[in-house]
Amino acid sequence: MRLDLFLRDKSSSILLNIFCSIFLAIILFSLGNPTEIVILIFLVWHMILITFYSVHYISRRKYFDNILKNASDSEKKYLISEIIEPPRYVDSITYYTLLKMANKSMLEEITMIKNDRKEYKEYVEQWVHEIKTPISAIKLSGENNKSEVTRLILSELERIDHYVEQALFYARSEHVENDYLIKECSLATSVHSVLVENKQMFIKNKIKVELKGLEKTVYSDHKWVEFILNELLMNSIKYRSDQSPCINIYAEDKKNGVMLVIEDNGIGISSHELPRLFDKGYTGNKGRQFKKSTGIGLYLCKKMCEKLGLLIEIQSKEHEYTKVIIFFPKGRLVKL
């Protein structure tokens, strides 16, 4: 509590005391009291007044500084009304009551929003599981009746399946800590699984895939790793080169972990766009040009990597290449 604000708040009572003391001095003089007695009464009056306001100020400052400290130390500052003690000053009780009412209303609102979001998330998950059944049935029919038409249908189904999976993982991404299991993962198995999942799109677009050095194991959640790889490969397919499109996927041992690289010879990315690639909803010039980007895929990749403790980086040169590097660090409990 600042002294000037305190004095401003008490200015009316201070002025009243000064006025009363002067009025009393005039009366005492008019009654014939000696000057020394009047000055003594005046000084005693104001000494008592100064002492009273000094103690009052120190007490209030200590009380409110303690409240501010508790608020600063608390991680959940919106719960401050639950942890502070009831005020000792009458003029603070009204604000304390209002704070309690506002906090109660806010918590009710948050609970309602959380319940709504939980219901929507459960609906999305249920919808994804239901829609995957007919997608799998159509895939099976297409695989059993191969033709140019069914290949085209299967290729588009893979895109639909990708967007359905993306919606499911996006719904789960806020609480990924409740939905992952860290264990030994084979990079080769994860990469092959994603390639098989999108094989029709690679065939349709005549994309050559080269693999090297993937016989390594890391400790992570294979489901989320495959989701990240799927997003990155879909981007490589979207922004492929028209001339001999090729994707190189390789892994290398590093001092403190394993580095997985997905490199394509696609249309590349402008250098000034690289810092914003992981921003939510950012599509860039290429995304707007091809009208195929939602700006969600890389945002989710970055988010998932942070949750899993992985590092992700993109290097690119326009019209030449794009290289995505995922680093799996070696932890105390991780054997590489």
Q: How far apart are CA 37 and CA 29, in angstroms?
A: 10
Looking at residue 291, what is its pLDDT?
Answer: 56
Looking at residue 261, what is its pLDDT?
Answer: 96
Domains belonging to the chain, first-starting first, are: 3-105 (no CATH), 182-329 (3.30.565.10)
Output DSSP code: residue 75: S
- State yes or no: pLDDT of 336 exceeds 50: no
Residue with structure tokens 């194991």?
217
* Contacts for 69 with CB less than 8 Å, ≥ 6 apart: none
State the burial class of residue 95 (Cβ atoms within 10 Å of its Cβ: 0-12, 13-18, 19+).
exposed
Q: SS3 of 146, please?
A: coil
Pairing of strands 183-186, 217-220: antiparallel
Average per-residue pLDDT in the chain?
Answer: 86
* Contacts for 197 with CB less than 8 Å, ≥ 6 apart: 158, 161, 230
pLDDT band at 326 (very low <50, low <70, confident <90, very high): very high
pLDDT over 70 for what percent of the chain? 94
Q: How far apart are CA 221 and CA 200, in angstroms?
A: 26
pLDDT digits (tens, 9 = 90+) for 265-313: 999 988 888 999 899 888 877 666 665 677 888 999 998 899 888 999 9
Token readout for 233 is: 């490969």
pLDDT digits (tens, 9 = 90+) for 220-260: 888 899 999 999 999 999 888 888 999 999 999 988 899 99
| 74-84 mean pLDDT | 76
- State yes or no: pLDDT of 136 exceeds 50: yes
Which residues pair with residue 254 across a beta bridge?
257
User: What is the number of other CB atoms lying within 10 angstroms of the CB of residue 265?
Assistant: 20
pLDDT digits (tens, 9 = 90+) for 191-222: 999 999 888 889 888 999 999 999 999 988 88
Looking at residue 287, what is its pLDDT?
Answer: 65
